[in-house]
Amino acid sequence: MSEPRPIWPALVAVALAVSVTFIAVRTWMPPPVRPEALPGESLLREAYAMTREHSVLPLDQERLGEGAVAGLVGAVDPYAEAYGPVEWEIFRQRARGAFTGVGLDLVALGGRTIIASVIPGSPAEEAGIRPGERLLSIDNKPIDDAVDVDILLDGPLGSRVALIVGTLEGADGRGLSVPRRDMDRPTVHATRIDDHTGLLVITEFRPTTPAQFDAAWSKLALMPPQHLIVDVRNNHGGDLDAAAAVADRWIEEGIIYRRVGRTEDSSFGATSGSPLASCRTLLLVNGETASAAEVLAGALSDHGCALMIGERTYGKGAIQEVMAFANSPGGMKITTGVLLTPSGRSLESHLPSVVRGVGGGGLIPDVVIKVPAGNRAALERARHRERWPLHVRELVERHDGANVADEARDIAMKLLR
């Protein structure tokens, strides 16, 4: 008889769908618990007794405990999550900046999941997977629109994932067992538009992002006067310190962000040396620009370092602290503060107003545009296809058309002329 499906994969699917802005991972040292100190403890015991006595379903004691913890942490805090042992290890890997995976860059196209590129030297490349092939299943789960591919590919360092990869049109494919390894996944991509103008796309913020940003900026080798378009559309955030360090490349002095906590407030200030202080910068944002990416946008906007173009940002200004359980494998994250821009604007829109502070609801760009819902998927593919192999770009262009309108980028180019 198969065992009941554990609750943790469902939890981590939510936890990893949106990047987390966090400041630390530490071990929680619980105070002594007095009898009946847990709110609702008697009710919880009664519900457990009813379930044990009357439920026709087999009871998995570990799963019941995990479900109780999940309900507790999520009852008040919409961003809180609890992690089981496997998902906790994945989270710890991400917190230290490691990207653990097989090395695939995927794109959804016409109901199919296409391998857009393969990271050089990755397990996927070693397994013989090639750009332009189709991913058919992951761990015996067929790929369709309802499947979160990134979650299925995630896993602990050293574990293996079963893939079926085939041709674009074929129904069958070859089975592969591919190990997961730590890799240096690029988070900054540079394109030199002309002698004076460059484009930097930041896909997320990891501890390695500032160094990647510096390398990408140097690669552009722009001549004065220098113009830069920074694209953080669909950037869900990540490491707060990394976002602040990138903002510091423009801001010569003053506050980059403010943090309001339960018991104390703090701020992160600019340091000496701002190589982009004189660089004319345009920042592209949309409704999926969130969390640490909004910290970058808010700082550059408040200091007058960049003109913001696009849609109102997502509005995630909550900051979480990640804590390991002292007596059980796993851990949890809870909201311990909210983020404000240097001028005191709240970024948060999903917590109660008494917590989030003045404002909230995301950042409103200087130049507001609206992208039709039907164009969003094609636009997202167009933003990235320049770094894909030629035959993959041609495949995408045959599906979407060679010239997908990117109004935000077009406006940025006009403003720089």
Q: What is the mean pLDDT of residues 52-63?
A: 88
Buried b (16+ CB within 10 A) or exposed e, 319-355: bbbbbbbeeeebbbbbbbbbbbbbeebbbbbebeeeb
> Does residue 264 sit in the same domain as residue 290?
yes
> Does residue 395 sit in the same domain as residue 270?
yes
Mean pLDDT of the chain: 86
The DSSP annotation for 366-378 comes to SEE----GGGHHH
More confidently predicted of 25 and 206: 206
Is 13 in a helix, a strand, or coil? helix
Domains held by the chain: number: 2
Whether residue 341 is predicted with pLDDT greater than 80 in this model: the reply is yes
> Does residue 116 sit in the same domain as residue 195?
no
Residue ending a domain, choose from 162, 183, 204: 183
Dist CA 138 CA 176 (whole Å): 10
Q: What is the mean pLDDT of residues 47-71?
A: 88
Whether residue 8 is predicted with pLDDT greater than 80 in this model: the reply is no
> Does residue 154 sit in the same domain as residue 257?
no
Question: 82 in a domain, yes or no?
Answer: no
> Does residue 294 sit in the same domain as residue 375?
yes
Confidence band, pLDDT 50/70/90 cuts, at residue 1: very low
Whether residue 295 is predicted with pLDDT greater than 60 in this model: the reply is yes
Percent share of the chain, pLDDT over 70: 87
Question: 51 in a domain, yes or no?
Answer: no
Residue ending a domain, choose from 154, 183, 212: 183
> Does residue 328 sit in the same domain as residue 403?
yes
CATH for 396: 3.90.226.10
CATH for 146: 2.30.42.10
> Does residue 356 sit in the same domain as residue 290?
yes
> Does residue 171 sit in the same domain as residue 251?
no
Residue ending a domain, choose from 153, 183, 213: 183
More confidently predicted of 69 and 378: 378
Q: Tell me the residue range of the domain where 327 lies.
A: 188-416
Question: 256 in a domain, yes or no?
Answer: yes
Question: 53 in a domain, yes or no?
Answer: no
Do 165 and 174 touch, CB atoms closer than 8 A? yes
Dist CA 406 CA 371 (whole Å): 9
> Does residue 355 sit in the same domain as residue 234?
yes
C-alpha to C-alpha distances, 187 to 20, 147, 215, 282, 387, nearest whole angstrom: 16, 24, 11, 19, 13
> Does residue 306 sit in the same domain as residue 196?
yes
pLDDT in tens, 137-156: 999 999 876 567 887 888 88
Question: 374 in a domain, yes or no?
Answer: yes
Q: What is the pLDDT of residue 326?
A: 87
Q: What is the pLDDT of residue 3?
A: 33
Whether residue 14 is predicted with pLDDT greater than 90 in this model: the reply is no
73, 74, 76, 79: CA torsion to nearest 10: 100
Q: How many residues does the chain have?
A: 417
Confidence band, pLDDT 50/70/90 cuts, at residue 388: very high
> Does residue 247 sit in the same domain as residue 164?
no
> Does residue 363 sit in the same domain as residue 338?
yes
More confidently predicted of 64 and 415: 415
**Tokens describing residue 14:** 């939510």
Letter for the amino acid at 65?
G
Question: 46 in a domain, yes or no?
Answer: no
**What are the beta bridge partners of residue 99?**
183
Do 303 and 254 touch, CB atoms closer than 8 A? yes
C-alpha to C-alpha distances, 382 to 217, 293, 397, nearest whole angstrom: 22, 21, 8
**What are the beta bridge partners of residue 117?**
105
Q: What is the pLDDT of residue 145?
A: 62
Dist CA 105 CA 98 (whole Å): 16
Whether residue 307 is predicted with pLDDT greater than 60 in this model: the reply is yes
Do 398 and 264 touch, CB atoms closer than 8 A? no
Question: 48 in a domain, yes or no?
Answer: no
Question: 79 in a domain, yes or no?
Answer: no
pLDDT in tens, 86-137: 888 877 776 666 678 899 999 999 889 999 999 999 999 999 999 999 999 9
